[in-house]
Structure 1
């Protein structure tokens, strides 16, 4: 039985691996720094302590955890001759990666619901979206994501691996492991497809339904300024959701372990989390004002000292 696996990653690129290492390292630093800035801004800036920004900061925490599950091992893989990972480490990474992926899907759904409620019921929003409710809504995606992922991980971990141990990917994921199994992966594939439907397809349609309703409400607002103000609170979320689901669905709706899956995975597992802080700051007036205020405050403290 196989005791360890070999992550092939981007070995075929050969001379480009160093360049890829530098690119991924820069994206990783940008992602961690940008998301930590958002977390700190929401935590310490009173004007951002609202349900919407609470969800955004929760999303930022999730992104930091998400990239730390895969990027350190990927960076080591790109510059090291040792590309091995133990069977236990492999299944642990797979469980963490898929759990956080599913959690992100559900959190994007919760954020769409929050925007729909804020725009459709602006006068009652504060009384409806109480702290107890938005805290529960932020916790629910974690519970659902980890619960669904545990089922797919359990079925995959029960497969027998007695032959090739080279995974044509930069991380331990369900489809590549299913392809290496010397036992029937039917139940594992079925669990993976069901997880994809529950966490990707269904939430996508619900998010679309929320935004159809939002567009309908906005269309009834009189005046271009009011419409622009209403839609500006949703544009960042729409962009993030489109980037994430676009790459994610292309990989998991047909989990066959295709050759180009690792490139799509790299897009939604690293590039999208790196872009998210810029999407939420550059397109959000409140965050830009809070960031300027925070920088100004730090300059005053520095100059006075």
Structure 2
């Protein structure tokens, strides 16, 4: 997907509304089918985010017209796939409340149009839960994921890929909201099942291990947490590459765990590499530190802490550039 491709889609959608003589509903259906045919790449690869940002703008407008015209936003299946990919992008790119608002709107529409048990409706709610967690609505995220897990276990069994995926999300959410005991119990049961059913390198298994690691860290089991985070990072590098967002998140977790153990040399190495990758992949057009992606700011702060712990105060200070002369 390229800027030119996305711009071409925008022109085609505009033409659909301009030239269609069958009324608003017909124009909406034509525009929706155009979006459905759009090639969508991995939303967790940051180099695609500029195109996803353009796509999101088109989708917001189109979804509004679909609702006004009474045209379903849940058909065809290919259109749902584009929408789900965009919701994944909104979470990966840390769009905050706007992403959560759009995801919530989609969830409500698809619940009515598809029914509670439809797999894509469940997938949309998983993404909504992730966006809730990202903006601090942890209780809502945990409650929703518990409900989704019960539903998936009822529909396809507790060892089904869908139920395991939601359980892995729930384990991570419990850890992030501070319920480490519940996350530990769930993670200890979940990791071996995910490994057996889906394979130890599967995305679901790695998310389950990461959630378990978070619980271990929260309960003071720092060496065990470090080992689990290292496993996730090594497998993510091997299966997805250094620049995939899941690998970068795993490196973040490993760097934090290294600092917990006061392994400042390793934390320094990890944070230096992360900062360069984040600046290359997420730096965009930031003109000041206030415009930077928060992942860049957090990594720089960790790198500064590692340098200071090693007595390299001048290098730590230099990370932030010259002080303003008031």
TM range (shorter): under 0.3
TM-score, normalised via structure 1 length: 0.26
TM-score, normalised via structure 2 length: 0.25
